[in-house]
Amino acid sequence: MDGSYEPVEAISQALDRLYDEQGLDIPIHVDAASGGLVAPFIQPDVVWDFQVPRVKSINVSGHKYGLVYPGVGWVVWRKHSDLPEELIFSVNYLGGQMPTFALNFSRPGSQIVAQYYNFVRLGKVGYRRIQQACQDIAQYLAAEVAKLGPFKLLSNGSDLPVFAFTLKEPTNFTVFDFSERLRDRGWIVPAYTYPKNLEDMAVMRIVVKDGFSRDMADLLLNDMRRHLNYYAAHPESTHTSGSPGFSHGVSQEEKK
């Protein structure tokens, strides 16, 4: 949730110990929705995929760091026998029997063609260049956000080009307030709470993708400074306890 990788290799080693102690043989599925098309190009030494014997399946979203429009995703299994038979059913509406485990309805193939085009057009070198540029911007932004004063980094973009931050201490605004003010300037920087047992932790998250330049990062930082100056000049509490809801293109003034 904060752009950090899960320690797949360490989890596998813990499961190895569990097997030795209790005989429980637990396989691993890796949800590599974003990292599956980042780590191989800019962090090739991270061990998370089929190099780990317990990893039996991996999924990745092409419409995230695969650089394709929504929505296309991929899932691969180590070997055919790792795909549970109960997930497979046979359809014949195309004129012959065909096994499938996808949802059975008409769906476009344009994203698949686009993903194939990107793989061929960009190759490893192109993806490495793009993902490294995204990470460079993410780490620059994270460092600058930390310098703003009231924010505490929870991650810094050194894994995925993503980082999360929260408020160091209670103040006259919440991350939800700040997120909404940024939205009025055209920035979608979501604020949300962590899952169960960490619901009291409210954070903001910035995701850097291809096309987000250093100039855009500086524009975002300028708007963040502008809003912090506003709150400093208006010390009365403006707390929002939770997310105000989302509406495309509706500003705070229009909501009033």
In-domain check, residue 211: yes
In-domain check, residue 222: yes
Question: pLDDT of 179-191, one tens digit each?
Answer: 999 999 999 999 9
Angle between helices 110-147 and 214-233 (to 10 degrees): 50
φ, ψ of residue 145 in degrees (nearest 5): -60, -40
State the pLDDT at residue 246: 52
Q: How far is CA 189 from CA 89, 175, 185, in A?
A: 41, 10, 11
191-193 and 55-61 strand pairing: unpaired
In-domain check, residue 201: yes
Length of the chain: 256
State the pLDDT at residue 249: 52
Sheet strand arrangement including 162-167 = 151-153, 162-167, 202-207, 191-193
d(CA 98, CA 55): 27
State the pLDDT at residue 198: 82
State the pLDDT at residue 105: 60
Beta carbons of 221 and 151 less than 8 angstroms apart: no
In-domain check, residue 33: no
In-domain check, residue 3: no
In-domain check, residue 93: no
Domains in the chain, number: 1
d(CA 50, CA 168): 39
Angle between helices 175-184 and 214-233 (to 10 degrees): 120
State the pLDDT at residue 256: 47
Q: Which residues constitute the domain of residue 142?
A: 129-241
Which positions of the chain have pLDDT values less than 50?
250, 255-256
In-domain check, residue 160: yes
In-domain check, residue 111: no
Q: What is the CATH number of the domain that holds 165?
A: 3.90.1150.160
